Amino acid sequence: MRDRIAFLFPGQGAYLPGLLTGFLDPYPQIGPVLRDVDGVCAEYGHRPVSELLLDTGAPPIDTLLAEHPEALHLCIFTASLACAAVCAAEGVRADVLVGHSFGEWAALTLAGVWTPVEAARLICERDRVCRQAGIEPGGLLAVAVGPDTARHLAGVVDEWSLGVAVSNGPGQSVLAGPEAGLDQAQAVASALGVRAVRVKAAYPYHSPWMRAAGETFREVMERSGARVPTQRVYSPISGSYVSTADGVRDIGAGHMVVPVDFLAALHVLRRDQVTVFVECGAKDIVTRLAAEVLPGVRTLAPMARRGGPQAARTVLAGAAVPAAVPPVPSAATVPAPRRPQGDEVPSAAAVPEESVEAEALPPRAELITALCAHYAERLGYPPDVVTDDVDLEVDLGIDSLRQAEVLASLYARYGLDASGSGDPLRRQTLPDIADHLMALPRLSAPVPVS
């Protein structure tokens, strides 16, 4: 029996300018999707997605987030459908579709609930409702702790509406809330040695701050048409497989307020014998989470970077290789997670660490060469792909969360104090990273390596 395959559809942050460059000729089925969504863009006065997904010189994600968030959302949606079309053309078929947060729109569309045009219009209506709701400025903050600890971290901050919006795994959760609350939570996390990075999102999705917009959008969803899914779909928002049109409308209506339990979704999929996870969209955001939560499963991200059709085909060829995963443990053998007690806050010193002597920083040219090798090894990319002139996010798909992880490893490797370094995540090339590292002071004590 072949391995069961899940298509995972990413949400916020899953955009690379010019991602589909070179795909139209070998995969002509992408063309109608682009034209359909472009038509909806014209209806609502938004920038065409084809301009953004077919031009490598298109604006980066930060620009779109600030100036054209509606176009950004439509690009994420369109790229997911295009990637799924490439998978199908290469003979990779899904047994189940799963969307992560905003990715549920693409998952449900591919399952036949809506046409691409219908879904794109609903996405535009969703953004219109958010824009008109007068939502207090806020957003999302990813923290490198599990959901129970994240709730405790949020509780330390004196902000009633700050809470866990997304449970991604034992080592990552996402908090949502107003700007002031997120700033406080990030400061507390930093003081505890917990990595915390802002997610590139327009609003504090999956939180009470979206309630007014969510109630208005519920009326839109109740008036909209929805079909019964023709493929198996699991919703991390509803926490169940979706089998009715009413269930679809409930997911869409509650999408802005209801938290996402992606961690539970991964465990359900593994219980149901899914062993291969394919990311349908830009970057490798959700397949990385699957690999971290489920040891031994095989993950494929054909559009993890702007590698073009050949790179996507090479990745998808891996779907034919049988996965070797451990058996699914019974519920009786899995220990229950320990919850923080009372006012207990996780300490950065709670995990025993081994101290090692840090390396000395080499001269700049040698450092850049070392960075090429370091990034290639940490990210699993071929060495010839990671060069000193690539844009780490635009060309290689390295999002802010992964960049923060790699930078933390570099600070430890060279014994550097980055506590007052401002915002290093804005540095997008290896020469920029080298200059950043060379400007940092050395730590006086040995560097702990977890």
Distance CA 303, CA 32 (A): 20
Q: Does residue 339 lie in a domain region?
A: no
User: Residue 423: what pLDDT?
Assistant: 64
User: Residue 352: what pLDDT?
Assistant: 40
Query: How far is residue 24 from each of residues 301, 342, 404, measured CA to CA in Å?
Result: 19, 57, 34
Q: Does residue 327 lie in a domain region?
A: no
User: Residue 294: what pLDDT?
Assistant: 96
Whichever domain contains 125, its CATH number is: 3.40.366.10
Sign of CA dihedral 82, 83, 86, 88: negative
Distance CA 34, CA 37 (A): 5
Query: How far is residue 372 from each of residues 368, 432, 434, measured CA to CA in Å?
Result: 6, 12, 10
Do the beta carbons of residue 145 and residue 195 sit within 8 Å?
no
User: Residue 347: what pLDDT?
Assistant: 41
Query: How far is residue 444 from each of residues 160, 192, 261, 418, measured CA to CA in Å?
Result: 39, 19, 41, 13
Number of domains composing the chain: 3
Residue type, 272: D
Phi and psi torsions of 169, nearest 5°: 175, 180
User: Residue 313: what pLDDT?
Assistant: 96
- Please indicate, yes or no, whether residues 127 and 234 belong to a single structural domain of this protein: yes
Q: What number of residues does the chain have?
A: 450
- Please indicate, yes or no, whether residues 34 and 93 belong to a single structural domain of this protein: yes
- Please indicate, yes or no, whether residues 49 and 129 belong to a single structural domain of this protein: yes
- Please indicate, yes or no, whether residues 228 and 197 belong to a single structural domain of this protein: no
User: Residue 425: what pLDDT?
Assistant: 66
- Please indicate, yes or no, whether residues 267 and 384 belong to a single structural domain of this protein: no
Classify 430 in phi/psi space as left (phi over 0), alpha (psi -120 to 50) or beta: alpha
- Please indicate, yes or no, whether residues 301 and 407 belong to a single structural domain of this protein: no
User: Residue 325: what pLDDT?
Assistant: 58
Q: Which residue has the tokens 């409930």?
A: 250
User: Residue 406: what pLDDT?
Assistant: 84
Which has the closest alpha carbon to 20: 46, 47, 56?
56
Whichever domain contains 186, its CATH number is: 3.30.70.250
Do the beta carbons of residue 9 and residue 260 sit within 8 Å?
no
- Note down pLDDT in tens along the chain; length 450 residues: 678 999 999 999 999 999 999 999 999 999 999 999 999 999 999 999 999 999 999 999 999 999 999 999 999 999 999 999 999 999 999 999 999 999 999 999 999 999 999 999 999 999 999 999 988 889 999 999 999 999 999 988 866 778 999 999 999 999 999 999 999 999 999 888 899 999 999 999 999 889 999 999 999 998 988 999 999 999 999 999 999 999 998 998 888 999 999 999 999 999 999 999 999 999 999 999 999 999 999 999 999 999 999 999 999 998 876 655 555 554 434 444 444 444 444 443 333 444 557 888 888 888 888 888 888 888 777 777 788 777 777 777 777 777 888 888 888 888 888 776 666 666 778 888 888 888 888 886 554 444
pTM of the entire structure?
0.82
Neighbours of 148 (CB within 10 A): 17
Q: Does residue 350 lie in a domain region?
A: no
The domain of 159 spans: 136-202
- Please indicate, yes or no, whether residues 37 and 119 belong to a single structural domain of this protein: yes
- Please indicate, yes or no, whether residues 92 and 48 belong to a single structural domain of this protein: yes
Q: Does residue 444 lie in a domain region?
A: no
User: Residue 130: what pLDDT?
Assistant: 94
- Please indicate, yes or no, whether residues 226 and 308 belong to a single structural domain of this protein: yes
Whichever domain contains 379, its CATH number is: 1.10.1200.10
Q: Does residue 334 lie in a domain region?
A: no
- Please indicate, yes or no, whether residues 189 and 210 belong to a single structural domain of this protein: no
Sign of CA dihedral 411, 414, 420, 424: negative
Q: SS3 letters for the chain?
A: CCCEEEEEECCCCCCCCCCCCCCCCCCCCHHHHHHHHHHHHHHHCCCCHHHHHCCCCCCCHHHHHHHCHHHHHHHHHHHHHHHHHHHHHCCCCCCEEEECHHHHHHHHHHCCCCCHHHHHHHHHHHHHHHHHCCCCCEEEEEECCCHHHHHHHHHHCCCCCCEEEEEEECCEEEEEEEHHHHHHHHHHHHHCCCCEEEECCCCCCCCHHHHHHHHHHHHHHHHCCCCCCCCCEEECCCCEECCCHHHHHHHHHHCCCCCEEHHHHHHHHHHCCEEEEEECCCCCHHHHHHHHHCCCCEEECCCCCCCHHHHHHHHHHHHHCCCCCCCCCCHHHCCCCCCCCCCCCCCCCCCCCEEECCCCCCCHHHHHHHHHHHHHHHHCCCCCCCCCCCCCCCCCCCCHHHHHHHHHHHHHHHCECCCCCCCHHHCCCHHHHHHHHHCCCECCCCEEEC
